[in-house]
Amino acid sequence: MGLADLHMHTIYSYDGTATVPDVLRRAHKAGLDVIAITDHDEIAGALEALKLAHHFGVEVIPGIEIDTAEGDLLALFVTEIVPKGLPLVETVLRVRELGGICIAPHPTARGLGLKSLSVSTITKALRNPHVADTLIGIEAYNATAMDKVGIAAARLLTSRLAMASVGNSDAHVLDAIGLGATEFAGTTASDLVSALRSGQTSIRRQKEWHVVRILWSWFFDYIGSLFTRFAMVTQ
């Protein structure tokens, strides 16, 4: 069985804390076969990871977490920016044009800046056959989302819509990478896509962090990343 974590952030995200090499190193240590770098409305970290991945024994899917007009959306297998702020349907269709697929992250969850798609928004969008062929997964487990009620609702939504069930970490700090992951037959990104399209995925959950640990880990790691951020800006 392969193991994938398809939702994580690097220092290229405004709220990420780790460099791309550190993320790749940690992903390999966590036993992940496939990861997706999904920085907020930014592709630079994913492109850097693509260049470095072979040094770390991890396959990288380039992606973005897009801020659509109705909530966040994970776009995978894209190598250029998709504009933020567009309606969900238009965003998904643009990802489709780029050859990508989409997953709805932390749907229905709220709190601390989470902008999640609602059940009605997803259901309505799926009436478009091209959207239904592209938006193929629901993040039924998000290891670091603090709205546990919303995450529980996401599991029910996955069953109701007969979409692939995905587990992710949504890691903003290194130690969170792999806390939530998706199991699939095979070990490659191609195998993963086949499993997503056939609904043959399962969720791997590790011990959940308490909300205090989530916040404090991010705070201290973010402070520690400020020098790196400054160096990136001044280059």
CATH of the domain at 106: 3.20.20.140
How many domains does the chain contain in total? 1
Rg of the chain (C-alpha set): 16
Backbone angles phi, psi at 67, to 5 degrees: -85, 90
Identify which of 31, 35, 23 has the alpha carbon closest to the alpha carbon of residue 60: 35
Per residue in 185-226, pLDDT (tens digit) is: 999 999 999 999 999 999 999 887 888 888 889 898 999 898
Tell me the average pLDDT across 114-130.
93
Could you give the CA distance from residue 49 to residue 170 in angstroms, rounded to a whole number? Answer: 17
Q: What is the pLDDT of residue 235?
A: 65
Sequence-separated (6 or more) residues with CB below 8 Å from residue 232? 11
Is residue 111 very low, low, confident or very high in pLDDT (cuts 50, 70, 90)?
low
192 φ/ψ sector (left φ>0, alpha ψ -120 to 50, else beta)? alpha
Identify which of 53, 68, 76 has the alpha carbon closest to the alpha carbon of residue 6: 76
The pair of structure tokens assigned to 48 is 């850097």
pTM of the full structure: 0.94
The pair of structure tokens assigned to 160 is 């109701």
Structural domain for 78, as ranges: 2-234
